[in-house]
Homo-oligomer: A and B are copies of this chain.
């Protein structure tokens, strides 16, 4: 499993054999069960994640209703806002499936970067990429109606529809589960 992380890192920056072993000896891989909550509202997140296997969902609790903001799957990284800001988290992270995850803690990452300064540039690149992705998906979301958002999601992340309940996808699209069901019927009639 460590190999996936190494592959991911070397897709950004080259690593020597020694550097690879420094990273491998960190032992940062954890498993979580379906349903486990990695972060709750109000908590301070001290960890970031890289998903090797499984699916993690982020969501807010609004008037008792869960509002999904993201589905993270294989090879995606999660950098909780709370982790970046040292403020209490506004949202939850929980596992929709059994997961295998590479976990970085604030302190361990700091120590690791001291030993391998080039990792800092990896983080910069990842942040910059995340920034771009967010901006693009926000802009898209804002200017597509729910039906177009649904069709786009079908195109870009078809896998989600096989592994995630529709009512979570509905709130992710910004609509209710009832409305999504109705929309799917409408689309299928065409």
Residues of A at the B interface (CB closer than 8 Å) are: 60, 62, 67, 69, 79, 81, 84-85, 90-91, 123-124, 127-128, 130-132, 134-139, 141-143, 171, 174
Given contacts A127-B124, A131-B127, A134-B135, contact A142 B174 (CB under 8 A): yes
Chain A interface, >50% SS class: helix
A143→B81 contact, CB < 8 A: no
B62→A128 contact, CB < 8 A: no
Oligomer: number of copies = 2
Distance from A59 Cβ to chain B, minimum over Cβ atoms (Å):
10
Nearest to A138 among chain B residues (CB) is B138
Q: Which residues of B contact A134 (CB under 8 A)?
A: 131, 134-135, 138
B132→A85 contact, CB < 8 A: yes
Q: Which residues of B contact A84 (CB under 8 A)?
A: 128, 131-132
